[in-house]
Amino acid sequence: MLQLYFFPMACSLSSRIALLEAGLDAQYHFAHIWTKKVVDDDSDFRGVSPKGAVPVLVLENGERLTESAAVLQYIADLKPATGLAPAFGDPDRYRLQEWLSFIGAEIHKGFLYPTFWYKDDGSLSKPRARITPTLSVPSAHLADREFLVGDRFTAADAHLTWALLVLRPAGVDIAQWPSLSAYLERMQARPAVREAIATEMALRKTLAA
């Protein structure tokens, strides 16, 4: 069975959403990204992945795959009929990769990482200034579209949904982009997205306690 190492409401949420959307069973392991301990057995998370970062997907053959863009596409390709990723050779496959790169680099590492996850000591003025033009890109794209790629939910939507959810606690009010607010509401109405968020929010609360 597939295994996913995750931290509640971290970027690994999108991999959980993809697994649920694909109807794939998996074992989930809570990896504490600050202490680098696997919560199940207090083992060293760096022994699972030297990156010490989630997501880590353990494949059926025991290999470990990291990086959300790769993990999400792997999950999607296990169940091609779900359309979570357009087939290789379809021009939309490159659109999917374009969005996964943009979300991972520009929103996640460019903004969420320094301002929310790791609260860098350095000046946050540049990431804060960049997030507005950055978000105007998906906002304009989604003004007249239901999904990021094509006409169905893909792994890119799973990843953007996670990023938009975390923007709120990172201090960005996405209400200023009505197309993004409406999109997030649509995505949150999906049963798989709702289930993934409910599961991880419950775990997140145990952390704060």
Ligand X SMILES: N[C@@H](CCC(=O)N[C@@H](CS)C(=O)NCC(=O)O)C(=O)O
Positions in the binding site for ligand X (CB under 6 A) = 7, 10-11, 33, 52-55, 67-68, 104, 117
- Least distance (Å) between residue 151 CB and ligand X: 26
- Least distance (Å) between residue 56 CB and ligand X: 9
Residue (8 or 83) nearer to ligand X, CB? 8
Residue (9 or 22) nearer to ligand X, CB? 9
- 26 DSSP β-pair partners: 2
- Least distance (Å) between residue 158 CB and ligand X: 12
Residue (26 or 33) nearer to ligand X, CB? 33
Distance from C-alpha of 203 to C-alpha of 184, rounded to nearest angstrom: 21
Residue (14 or 82) nearer to ligand X, CB? 14
Cβ-closest position to ligand X = 53
- Least distance (Å) between residue 178 CB and ligand X: 27
Residue (83 or 104) nearer to ligand X, CB? 104
Distance from C-alpha of 158 to C-alpha of 4, rounded to nearest angstrom: 16
Closest Cα to residue 203, out of 53, 30, 40? 30
Q: How many Cβ atoms sit within 10 Å of the Cβ of residue 66?
A: 16
- Least distance (Å) between residue 86 CB and ligand X: 20
3-state per-residue secondary structure call for 121-152: CCCCHHHHHHHHHHHHHHHHHHHHCCCCCCCC
Distance from C-alpha of 78 to C-alpha of 204, rounded to nearest angstrom: 29
